[in-house]
Amino acid sequence: MKPLRYAVIGGGINGLAVARQLLLDDPDVRVTVFEKEEAVAQHQSSHNSGVVHAGLYYEPGGLKATLCRRGVELVKRYCEQNALPYDECGKVVVALGEEELPRLEAIYRKALANGVPDVEMIDAARLREIEPNCVGLRALYSPRTAIVSYGQIAQRMAQEIEERGGTIRLNASVRRVIERGDQVHIELQSGEMHPEAFDSAIACSGLQSDRLAQQSGDAATPRIVPFFGQYYVIDEAYKSHVKGLIYPVPDPRFPFLGVHFTKRIDGQMTIGPNAFISLGRENYHGDRFSLRDIADYLSYPGFWKFASRNVPATLRELKTVVSERIFVREAARYVPALAEVGVTPAVRGIRAQAMESNGRLVDDFVIRQSSRVTHIRNAPSPGATSSLAIGEHIVRNLIRRD
């Protein structure tokens, strides 16, 4: 009997996790990963905060909640087994005003329902014990929230895939996936057809997921609308002012978490990210733009509906884009001693956010499937935390569910 052949499109952390899981579960399968760049993990996998999210915010029972909690377990184990750094530095979600307390309590209830370990509500005195320079009325404390380098994890997975007999094709950008009868064919951007046919394909193409899906016959929506988030590293002399992670209580008027303090796995302390519309899906340095990407969202009715509902929050975020000082002071509301700290621009992430035509941001993970092709259509944060669990879920519950 011929071994099953799988194509995985995308060499980011989710695509690598799927490919690895296929080889773990059946060492006889043939797996080919198609990656458009000259190395793996060049996009969202290496442009993020590095936080291993514990599962505080996600709707109990949803894919995000389920796969995040499983993902934490798998990421921690993978780091231990491969001598990769994993730091349980802990996290506080801090309420500055009375109006935020009901929202903080709601997050706490979700965290309990999701089985987040050791999470607790704390008062101002206990907050100062954990983060001596932080101010706030109350906080939710998650001591098991951790940090890693997802880029390192992805690099190790790529090595493991090749060690297990898989193939990673670099500089191989895929235009579409073609399903014909009991075979799947891969057409590259060059117009060339990959010479080998496959039994199944899994598309994990992140910022390009909607385009690849639509060109391959899937629905046009949800559409990816890119939002960038800038991080800054604070002056080395002040990094000890924050011990772990300090987050605001999310504003319900805006779908992102807000500027916060994040310890990095190299020991540096960062402030960020803000969240603003990006001039390109891959505009990581802020000095480029893509007319195609801009035209895509400006011509999308969903974008204008979203924008019209979020004018106050958009103006707030715009201030942090145009002024570094305002950006820092936004975070320093939680650590006033850092209001004038010097900062250096660091990584800029691009969030591949799926948006419906009515302007609603898709909150949960979206994984769609035909008989032989699976598309990850939405996997924003905690997508990296959940990556190994996403791979496990796709391989064991979708592809091989029969």
Quick one: 30 and 175 in the same domain? yes
CATH number at residue 30: 3.50.50.60
Quick one: 230 and 329 in the same domain? yes
Quick one: 208 and 112 in the same domain? no
pLDDT tens per residue, range 118-175: 999 999 999 999 999 999 999 999 999 999 999 999 999 999 999 999 999 999 999 9
- The tokens describing 269, both together, are 């302390």
Q: Is residue 114 part of a domain?
A: yes
Quick one: 162 and 38 in the same domain? yes
Q: Indicate the length of the chain as a whole number.
A: 402
pLDDT tens per residue, range 39-59: 999 999 999 999 999 999 999
The two beta strands, 260-263 and 200-203, are unpaired
Look at residue 236 and tell me whether its pLDDT is greater than 90. Answer: yes
263, amino acid identity: K
The answer to whether the Cα torsion of 328, 252, 61, 142 is positive or negative is positive
Residue at a domain's end among 101, 120, 143: 143
Residues of the chain with pLDDT > 70, as a percent, come to 99
Q: Is residue 61 part of a domain?
A: no
Identify the domain containing residue 349 by its residue range: 225-243+250-356
Quick one: 328 and 383 in the same domain? no
CATH number at residue 344: 3.30.9
Quick one: 96 and 232 in the same domain? no
pLDDT tens per residue, range 278-290: 999 999 988 889 9
Quick one: 272 and 330 in the same domain? yes
Q: Is residue 288 part of a domain?
A: yes
More confident position, 8 or 324: 8
pLDDT tens per residue, range 251-261: 776 667 778 99
More confident position, 228 or 399: 228
Which of the four pLDDT bands, split at 50, 70 and 90, describes residue 69?
very high
Cα distance between residue 364 and residue 383, in whole Å:
10
Q: Is residue 83 part of a domain?
A: no
Q: Is residue 201 part of a domain?
A: yes
Cα distance between residue 201 and residue 368, in whole Å:
12
Which of the four pLDDT bands, split at 50, 70 and 90, describes residue 402?
very low
Count structural domains, the chain: 3
Look at residue 368 and tell me whether its pLDDT is greater than 60. Answer: yes
By three-state DSSP, how is residue 121 classified? strand
CA 145 to chain centre: 15
Q: What number is the average pLDDT over the span 50-79? A: 97
Q: Is residue 66 part of a domain?
A: no
pTM, rounded to two decimals: 0.96
Quick one: 98 and 211 in the same domain? no
Query: What residues contact residue 327 under an 8 Å CB cut-off, 6+ apart?
Result: 230, 232, 259, 271, 272, 274, 320, 321, 343
Q: What is the DSSP string of 165-197?
A: T-EEE-S--EEEEEEETTEEEEEETTSPBPSS-
Which of the four pLDDT bands, split at 50, 70 and 90, describes residue 33?
very high
Q: Is residue 84 part of a domain?
A: no
Residues of the chain with pLDDT > 90, as a percent, come to 87
Quick one: 323 and 348 in the same domain? yes
Give the burial string for 147-169 (b: 16+ CB within 10 Å, else e): bbbbbbbbbbbbebbeeeebebb
Q: In this predicted structure, what is the pLDDT of residue 216?
A: 97
Look at residue 27 and tell me whether its pLDDT is greater than 90. Answer: yes
Quick one: 301 and 239 in the same domain? yes
Q: What is the DSSP string of 71-111?
A: HHHHHHHHHHHTT---B---EEEEE-SGGGHHHHHHHHHHH
Q: What number is the average pLDDT over the span 75-101? A: 98
Q: Is residue 36 part of a domain?
A: yes
Task: Please answer whether residues 241 and 133 qualify as being in contact, where contact means their C-beta atoms are separated by less than 8 angstroms.
Answer: yes
- Return the minimum-mean-pLDDT range out of 254-263, 302-311, 369-378: 254-263
Quick one: 345 and 205 in the same domain? no
Quick one: 296 and 211 in the same domain? no
Look at residue 401 and tell me whether its pLDDT is greater than 60. Answer: no
Calculate the average pLDDT of the chain.
94
Cα distance between residue 168 and residue 12, in whole Å:
11
Cis peptide before 273 (omega within 30 of 0): yes
